[in-house]
Structure 1
């Protein structure tokens, strides 16, 4: 939010803005919740360009955060009962062969020297 204070905003339409920050221009669409920097699309949290536009419209940036970060979504995720796993004694053992590392073949060609030479200027 601190960096959004230094953004220069130009409103082009109702919900479409052009935002300049340090000489780089980005397009923000608040209706679609997108920004050309793609940070808002990836994280689901408004980037500094979008925050500058939201504040310009006298909105709350927290209202534009993706629903997966809301408290209600978190609580809905864990409302079903999560049943515990059975004890190890209750599960049956499955016979498997032991796993060994792959065979290593020596590389072709002359081996490198163990010592490293110092470069003297």
Structure 2
């Protein structure tokens, strides 16, 4: 059974991000919990807003390499900055209730049983 805070796939992604973040050049405190991460480009990480200008954190729900560097710089736990649905607890809660499987095939009737054909359109002629 899983023993970590995060599900295994999320834990793998986080481990990769932490490894990559160790190669980032400089972490500079800006204000509050905002940091500049300097590498080829400069990225701004806001730990309170859980955002980075690279937008990976916002898109994936897991801290990006820049956020990982800032979190490590603050000596905080990276798992505290992951979206809750990546936790083992959320996974267990999701599948805790019983659910019934859907039958393999269901007879279709009425509108659901009709054949759908492609639209009757012609390609426009190209002008010379």
User: Normalising by structure 1, what TM-score?
Assistant: 0.71
Decide whether aligned partners of structure 1 residues 75 and 101 sit closer, same or farther in structure 2, where only a CA change above 3 A counts. Answer: same
Give the deviation of 1:6 after TM superposition.
2.3
* Aligned residues: CA RMSD: 2.5
- For the pair 1:94 / 2:112, whether they are aligned, the reply is no
Corresponding residue for residue 54 of structure 2: 37
Q: Deviations over 1:1-49 (max 9, x none)?
A: 2221222111011301011112x00100111111111100010110111
Rg larger in 1 or in 2? 1
Decide whether aligned partners of structure 1 residues 25 and 97 sit closer, same or farther in structure 2, where only a CA change above 3 A counts. Answer: closer
The alignment of Structure 1 onto Structure 2 pairs a total of residues equal to: 106
Structure 2 regions of 5+ residues with no counterpart? 1-17
Higher mean C-alpha displacement, 29-38 vs 93-102: 93-102
Corresponding residue for residue 113 of structure 1: none
Structure 1 regions of 5+ residues with no counterpart? 110-121
Structure with more of its chain in helix, by fraction: 2
Q: Which has the higher contact order (CA 8 A, sep 6+)?
A: 2
User: Normalising by structure 2, what TM-score?
Assistant: 0.67
